[in-house]
Chains A and B, each alone.
Chain A
Amino acid sequence: AQSVSQHNHHVILSEAASLELGCNYSYGGTVNLFWYVQYPGQHLQLLLKYFSGDPLVKGIKGFEAEFIKSKFSFNLRKPSVQWSDTAEYFCAAQYNFNKFYFGSGTKLNVKP
């Protein structure tokens, strides 16, 4: 069955630390990949997306993600986090330009 897994449910970092959040998706045909973020009290919004081409995707606010097809992974990274990055992060996959699946989310808490 098609699915998306996020293994880190809660991450706590100090400011300036590096971040990597894991995301794995199951095989299911053509896949588009997304990272969404939900800041406290705000709507879900897109951080970045991958359809094809360069497997290293850059998004807003200094975030990037790398698509590794052989590992079915799409991990999110940021070299140096800020307190304002405190939020919940969701990985999502769209299969065959149709069905969307979201992971269970990772809550990031950045300590000032």
Chain B
Amino acid sequence: EAGVAQSPRYKIIEKRQSVAFWCNPISGHATLYWYQQILGQGPKLLIQFQNNGVVDDSQLPKDRFSAERLKGVDSTLKIQPAKLEDSAVYLCASSSRTGGETQYFGPGTRLLVL
């Protein structure tokens, strides 16, 4: 089966610019996660969707980050405006349901904010 797809793979922007990342989960997976992984740290969960509803977004900086999952399939994560500290790898993962199922990760998008 096809894995989790993400695009773009790399993005370089200047601070105060906007950027968007796209994720297509494994077909049939109801749960979708966005993580931020800063260099030298483990992934930090930003937001979790169950179908097109938000399960947890407690660690999402809502003043600049937003995410949506229209129709319960693809998802987009946006940063507006970007700050230097947003430089990180943004990982998308999906699982067949919430509650302990294996998460399957995409390749990530590496963002550099100058």
A39 in the interface (beta carbon within 8 A): no
Q: Decide if A94 touches B44 in the complex (CB within 8 Å).
A: no
| B25 CB contacts on chain A under 8 angstroms | none
Which of A6, A43, A45, A99 lies in contact with B45, CB distance below 8 A?
A: A99
B43 in the interface (beta carbon within 8 A): yes
Task: Tell me the interface secondary structure of chain B in the complex.
Answer: loop
A63 in the interface (beta carbon within 8 A): no
How many of A's residues come within 8 Å of B, CB to CB?
22
Interface residues as binary, A24-63 with B (CB distance below 8 Å gives 1, 0 otherwise) = 0000000010001000000111100101000000000000
How many of B's residues come within 8 Å of A, CB to CB?
26
The A/B interface has a contact count, at CB < 8 Å, of: 51
| A100 CB contacts on chain B under 8 angstroms | 33, 45, 48, 103
Given A43-B105, A43-B106, is A90 in contact with B55 using a C-beta cutoff of 8 Å?
A: no
Which of B91, B100, B107, B108 lies in contact with A49, CB distance below 8 A?
A: B100
User: 6 closest pairs, A vs B, by CB?
Assistant: A102-B42, A97-B99, A44-B105, A32-B100, A102-B43, A43-B105
